Structure 1
């Protein structure tokens, strides 16, 4: 059985230095930027590695996979909006549109608001 390396508790000076660098990152306003490569954020990453909080100090860039997924999602919504506008033009209600498109009524309502599509509430005979 392999032994797990135990993390050593940081000294008081190391903890103070870490908190000082963390305050500098917050003052710079980089709290929501996970992949920042500025000098202040790199110093914090180095300090975190030194204290054993991180396994590597390099800040990795996000993969292109998430951008691609967002583009695919937006494209599907646009296609759904076009289909929905076509069905709404035929006089169908939101429940009937959802049934034909295999989507929920809430999703149909949300898309109708976003793309300003008028859907009839009751079917006119």
Structure 2
């Protein structure tokens, strides 16, 4: 078995330096940019690697595979939403729609909320006596 490198607790000075670099990145406005190669972000990554929070200080772009997967997932969700809307128009409940589309009831309810699809529910209670 290979030994796992134990992370050493950073000193007070290292923690202050990391916070200072993090503040500089926030002031620069690079909060939502995960793959930024500017000097501030690179310095923050190197400091984090020095302290043991990261294993590699170089910031790499992800492969296109994840973008393709995300697009396929969104396409499947849209197809499911169209099928679900057609079945909901026929008056089926979410459990019945889930059986027909081969999806779970919670997934059907989540899609219904997202795409504003009205799903009917069976009426509960006593039957009228007339």
TM exceeds 0.5? Answer: yes
**2-side partners of 1:8 and 1:103: how far apart?**
47
Distance 1:107 1:3, change over 3 A: closer
Q: How does 1:55-66 map to 2 (within 5 A)?
A: 56-66=56-66
1:95-110 residue pairs with structure 2 within 5 A?
A: 95-110=95-110
Deviation at 1:34, TM superposition (A): 2.6
Q: Please, which runs of 5 or more residues in structure 2 have no aligned partner?
A: 124-130
Rounded Cα–Cα distance in structure 2 between residues aligned with 1:88 and 1:32: 39
TM alignment of 1:24-39, pairs within 5 A: 24-39=24-39
Q: Which piece of structure 1 moves more, 26-35 or 69-78? A: 26-35
Deviations 1:43-90 (A, max 9, x none): 2334455x3645543211122222112111111111111111121222
Segment drifting more, 18-27 vs 75-84 = 18-27
Number of aligned residue pairs: give it: 122
**Hey, what's the Cα distance between the residues in 2 that align with 1:90 and 1:122?**
13
CA contact (8 A) 2:81 2:115 kept: yes
CA distance in 2, matches of 1:112, 1:9: 48
Cα distance in structure 1, aligned partners of 2:33 and 2:84: 37
